[in-house]
Amino acid sequence: MANDSREAALLAAGSITAVVLTLWSDALASLAATSVRLDFGWEIAGALTGSMAVLRVAAATPLVLLLPGYLLVRLLLPGKGFSFATRLMLSLGASVVLTIFGGLLLNLTPFGLRAGSWAALLGLVCLAGCATLAVRGRRHAATPIAEPPMSRDAKASRAPFPLRHAALLALAAVVLVAAGGVAVASATGDAGAGFTQLWILPPNGSAGQGRVRLGVENDEGTAMEYSLALSVDGVPVRQWTNFVIAPGQTWQANAALPNEPFGSSQQVQAILYRADAPTQAYRHVSLWVTMPQPAPPLSPAGPAAGTAPIAPCPAPARWARPDSCGQ
């Protein structure tokens, strides 16, 4: 059972590597985020984070889906002479089971189900399994279990791998990658007809009372020129003409409303026009506001007092939770 000790050492090294890579990547990601704020070192940290991502996936995936279960099966069901298929199934299944147990356990702790707590827990489980395997290997070193006789399939599998098989498998891989490429290309290229989003919102907090927030997002797939008209109870109060928004970008503004008696209720309406159809309302929104107190007067012309263009935001990844960029 010296093999057990060697295997345990190897698996322990793998587990430690996975944990270290995970924690290091997390730290680098935090550094990258911090660097943006400090405006220094972002590129270095970002590049490191990017290069670590592949390694992290390669190392952490077995830590979740394979290693814990493999060790559990080695310890729980030793020396049964399982086939590769049986051992693979039991190892993957046991890893899933252990991860589920781990999640239930972490839920009871204040640390919760976070990257750090997962890395610590699964790392400890794997190291404990490796240690047990090594100790058991030493204790049973004198009575090695005989290997089961090699099956016909096993004999055949150790035969040289024919070149034609390698060629066919390589070709299959190429076709598979092509299929994946077609799938991704058609899915990402399926943006459908373009559209524009218009919104109107009350101010954030009491500091902006007497104002409204307006936003336009261009998802037409091409740069667009718009005009926006703002009215209160049907009376025009403000207009933004011929402003251009690049595709995927957002335009936002804060607009002050005219003074009205305290407590009066008004309907503020915004109508968006496209430059190529300047008389046809393209989008329209409205907001009922109750005037709490007098607001600053509107400037009669020129750039609107209180209009605050916001920096453009990239569109969020489809599967990611949207962030609060632009708001």
Partner 1 sequence: MRIDVLVAQPTQRLLAVVAPPRPAGPVMGGGAADWLAVTAERNAQRAAVAPRRDAWGWLPLLALTMASGLLLTALADKGGRDAATWADPVFWAGICLLFFPPALRLTLPFVARGERIGLLVTLGMAVYLVKVFEHPTSFALFDEFQHWRTAQDIVATGHLFSANPLLPISPNYPGMEIVTTALSSLTGLPLFGAGVAVVGMARLLLMLALYLLYEQISHSQRVAGLATLVFMANPLFLFFDAQFAYESLAMPLAVIVFYCVTRYSDAPKRHRAGWIAAVGIGLVAVVVTHHLTSLMLIVLLALWTTVVVIRNRRGGNKGSGRDARAYPIVGALLGIGIVVAWVLYVGDAVVAYLSPSIVNAVQGLAGILAGSSAPRQLFQDGTGTTAPIWERIVSFGAVGLIVAGLLYGWSCLWRHHRSNTTALALGIAALAYPVSQMFRLTANGSEVASRPMDFLFLAVAFVLGVGGAWLTSPDTVRWRRSGALASVLTVAFVGGIIAGAGPMWERLPGPYLASSDQRSISPQGIAAATWTYSALGPGQRFATDHVDQWLVGSYGGQMPVNVANSPVDESYLFFDNTFSSDDESIVSRGHIHYLLVDTRFSTDLPGIGYYYETYEPNAFHHTQPIPLTALTKFDNVQNVSRVFDNGAIVIYDTGAYSNG
Nearest approach, Cβ of 300 to partner 1 (angstroms)? 27
CB of 305 to partner 1, least distance (A): 23
Min separation Cβ 114 and partner 1, Å: 5
Q: Give whichever of 258 and 326 is closer to partner 1, judged by the CB atom.
A: 326
Q: Toward partner 1, which CB reaches closer, 246 or 305?
A: 246
- Provide the minimum distance between the beta carbon of 154 and partner 1 in the complex, in angstroms, as a whole number: 8
Secondary structure in 3-state letters for the chain:
CHHHHHHHHHHHHHHHHHHHHHHHHHHHHHHHHHHHHHCCCHHHHHHHHHHHHHHHHHHHHHHHHCHHHHHHHHHHCCCCCCCHHHHHHHHHHHHHHHHHHHHHHHHCCCCCCCHHHHHHHHHHHHHHHHHHHHHHHHHCCCCCCCCCCCCHHHHHHCCCCCHHHHHHHHHHHHHHHHHHHHHHHHHHCCCCCCEEEEEEECCCCHHHCCEEEEEEEEECCCCEEEEEEEEECCEEEEEEEEEEECCCCEEEEEEECCCCCCCCEEEEEEEEEECCEEEEEEEEEEEEEECCCCCCCCCCCCCCCCCCCCCCCCCCCCCCCCCCCCC
Please give the Cα distance from 18 to 61 (Å, whole number). Answer: 9
Q: How far is the CB of 5 from partner 1 (least distance, A)?
A: 21
Residue among 55, 62, 87, 78 at smallest CA distance from 4: 78
Closest separation in Å from C-beta 264 to partner 1? 13
User: Which of 176, 305 has the CB closer to partner 1?
Assistant: 176
Closer by beta carbon to partner 1, 12 or else 125: 125
CB of 149 vs partner 1, minimal distance in Å: 10
Residue closer to partner 1 (CB basis): 10 or 76: 76
Q: Nearest Cα to 215, choosing from 309, 303, 305?
A: 309
Q: Which is closer to partner 1, CB of 149 or CB of 302?
A: 149
Output 16 or 89, the one with its CB closest to partner 1.
Answer: 89
Q: Closer to partner 1 at the Cβ: 164 or 301?
A: 164
DSSP β-bridge partners for residue 206: none
Minimum separation from the CB atom of position 299 to partner 1 (A): 26
